[in-house]
Amino acid sequence: MGRTILVLNGPNLNLLGEREPEIYGHDTLADVEALCRAAAEPAGYAIDFRQTNAEHEMVDWIQAGRKGLAGIVINPAAFTYAAYPVLDAIKLADCPVMEVHISNICRREAEWRSHSIMTQVCTGIISGLGIHGYELAVRHVIWLRSRGH
């Protein structure tokens, strides 16, 4: 088991903090990265933090980390709803995979945002806790590993 947690972010999250702050808050993706590092590094884990707007890149990154990672934390963003290649890649991962959404996808204005296709292949989901959800997901991976899961 490795000591790296891969934190993946899907399309448009590079704009976090610039749009719709009433839903997603004012923090940027750099703030999210700092939060993840602050949770992981004192426990002896490294964070590999990435964002992409391209589905094939997301699949490649999950595949590359298939073995040897402590865990994956993923906010699939709009890939959540229809990106079956990403779902298949997650299914093949050999480590815990935590799905994170900044907003509560079950109480959004658009009904389609409630139905994640990813949850069925993830270890768990955190949704609606803002960027704190990323920190909790990182801590959960570490907690699982400390108990030999």
Residue 81 among the catalytic residues: no
From the CB of 107, what's the least distance to ligand CA2, in Å?
Answer: 11
Say which of 45, 101, 134, 140 is annotated catalytic. Answer: 101
**35-53 b/e with 16+ CB inside 10 Å = b?**
bbbebbeebebebebebbe
Q: Is 19 in the site for ligand CA2 (CB under 6 A)?
A: yes
Cα(146)–Cα(71) distance, integer angstroms: 12
84-92 vs 55-64: helix axis angle to the nearest 10?
0
Q: Is 139 in the site for ligand CA2 (CB under 6 A)?
A: no
Residues 50-79 contacting ligand CA2, CB under 6 A: 75, 77-78
E-state strands within 3-110: 4-9, 46-51, 71-75, 97-101
Under 8 Å between Cβ of 58 and 79: yes
Closer CB to ligand CA2, 2 or 130, in the complex: 130
| Amino acid in the structure at residue 102 | I
Q: Is 22 in the site for ligand CA2 (CB under 6 A)?
A: no
From the CB of 26, what's the least distance to ligand CA2, in Å?
Answer: 10
Residue 132 among the catalytic residues: no
Q: Given the rule CB under 6 A, which residues bind ligand CA2? A: 12-13, 15-16, 19-20, 24, 75, 77-78, 80, 101-103, 105, 113
